[in-house]
Amino acid sequence: MGFTSRDMYAEVVDSDLLRRALRRSGLSYQELADEATSELRRIARSERRKRRDDGVPDGVSKSLVERLVNQRTKTTHELRAIAIERSLGVTDGDLFAPRMLHGAHAVPRSA
């Protein structure tokens, strides 16, 4: 998926795959949120070095992880999605697909 500009979101590609990856990792929702937050800090440091640090989320909450796994929400910030994928040990882009949201319209972005 790679790093992108601000206002980019990622949508869960396959929620069953996300649940299986979480089960395989052996992490709880809170442990995954903590691990993804530390990964997001690494991403934020990298973005700061590239002078693109505005728009980087602060962290990943347990409730967000729970909502994503239980299909109560489908999208999250793209950098959060990358952090979650890396925390679960899967390749970037396996669990989430990039999506650009413009108001009420959701337009798929080409890779």
Contact, 81 vs 13, CB < 8 A?
no
Q: What is the pLDDT of residues 17-56, one digit of tens each?
A: 999 999 999 999 999 999 999 999 999 898 888 887 777 8
Q: What is the pLDDT of residues 78-105, one digit of tens each?
A: 999 999 999 999 998 899 998 876 554 5
Strand spans (E) along 57-111: 75-77, 96-102, 105-108
Reported pTM: 0.81
CA distance 105 to 84: 25
